[in-house]
Structure 1
Amino acid sequence: MADTPPDVLRYTAFSTDPAGGNPAGLVLDARELDDEAMLAIAARLGYSESAFLTRAPDGDPRSYVVRYFSAKAEVPFCGHATVAAAVALGERDGTGDYVFHTRAGEVPVTVTQDPDGTPRATLTSVEPHVTDVAPGDLAEALAALDWPATDLDPALPPRIAYAGARHLVLAASTRERLADLSYDFARLETLMHRLDLTTVQLVWRAAEFTFHARNPFPVGGVVEDPATGAAAAAFGAYARALGLVPSEAVLTLHQGEDMGRPGELTVTLRSGDPRVRVSGTGVRIPG
Structure 2
Amino acid sequence: MEVLRYAAFTTEPSGGNPAGVVLDATGMTADEMQRVAADVGYSETAFLTPTGAPGAFDVRYFSPLAEVPFCGHATIASGVALAEHGTWGPLRFATAAGRVPVGTDVGEGGRIVATLVSVAPRTEPLAPDDLTELLASLGWDVDDLDPALPPRVAYAGAWHPVLAVHRRSRLARLDYAFDRLGVLMAARGWTTIALVHRENETVFHARNPFPPGGVVEDPATGAAAAALGGYLRELALVTPPVMLTVHQGDDLGRPGLLRVDVPRDPATGISVSGTAARMTPEGAHRER
1:84 and 2:42 matched: no
- Which of these residues, 13, 25, 28, is aligned with residue 18 of structure 1? 13
- Which of these residues, 261, 271, 274, is aligned with residue 280 of structure 1? 274
Following TM superposition, by how much is the alpha carbon of 1:224 offset from its aligned partner in structure 2, in angstroms? 0.3
User: What's the secondary structure of 2:277's corresponding residue?
Assistant: strand
**Backbone CA RMSD of aligned residues:** 0.8
Following TM superposition, by how much is the alpha carbon of 1:94 offset from its aligned partner in structure 2, in angstroms? 4.1
Q: Which runs of 4+ in 1 moved over 2 A?
A: none
User: What's the secondary structure of 1:275's corresponding residue?
Assistant: coil
Following TM superposition, by how much is the alpha carbon of 1:125 offset from its aligned partner in structure 2, in angstroms? 0.3
User: What's the secondary structure of 2:269's corresponding residue?
Assistant: strand
Deviations 1:1-23 (A, max 9, x none): xxxxx111001100000000000
Distance 1:161 1:247 in 2: 18
Given that 2:55 and 2:87 are in contact with CA atoms closer than 8 Å, whether structure 1 keeps it comes out as no
Following TM superposition, by how much is the alpha carbon of 1:129 offset from its aligned partner in structure 2, in angstroms? 0.5
- Structure 2, unaligned runs of 5 or more: 282-288
Match of 1:33 in 2: 28
Distance 2:108 2:186 in 1: 43
Aligned residues: 280
Distance 2:247 2:18 in 1: 16
Match of 2:285 in 1: none
Match of 1:51 in 2: 46
- Which of these residues, 178, 181, 195, is aligned with residue 202 of structure 1? 195
User: What's the secondary structure of 1:31's corresponding residue?
Assistant: coil
User: What's the secondary structure of 2:90's corresponding residue?
Assistant: strand
Distance 1:13 1:222 in 2: 16
Deviations 1:155-182 (A, max 9, x none): 0000000000000000011011111111
Q: Percent identity?
A: 56
User: What's the secondary structure of 1:136's corresponding residue?
Assistant: helix
Following TM superposition, by how much is the alpha carbon of 1:243 offset from its aligned partner in structure 2, in angstroms? 1.0
Distance 1:61 1:28 in 2: 14
Q: How does 1:100-249 map to 2 (within 5 A)?
A: 100-249=93-242
Given that 2:243 and 2:259 are in contact with CA atoms closer than 8 Å, whether structure 1 keeps it comes out as yes
Deviations 1:87-133 (A, max 9, x none): 00011124330000000000000000113210000000001100100
1:8 and 2:10 matched: no
Following TM superposition, by how much is the alpha carbon of 1:48 offset from its aligned partner in structure 2, in angstroms? 0.3
Given that 2:55 and 2:89 are in contact with CA atoms closer than 8 Å, whether structure 1 keeps it comes out as no
Given that 1:95 and 1:113 are in contact with CA atoms closer than 8 Å, whether structure 2 keeps it comes out as no
Given that 1:119 and 1:282 are in contact with CA atoms closer than 8 Å, whether structure 2 keeps it comes out as yes
- Which of these residues, 257, 268, 277, is aligned with residue 264 of structure 1? 257
Deviations 1:185-222 (A, max 9, x none): 01100110111100000000011100000000000001
Amino acid at match of 1:34: T
Following TM superposition, by how much is the alpha carbon of 1:263 offset from its aligned partner in structure 2, in angstroms? 0.2
User: What's the secondary structure of 1:207's corresponding residue?
Assistant: coil
Distance 1:178 1:108 in 2: 32
Distance 2:54 2:87 in 1: 12
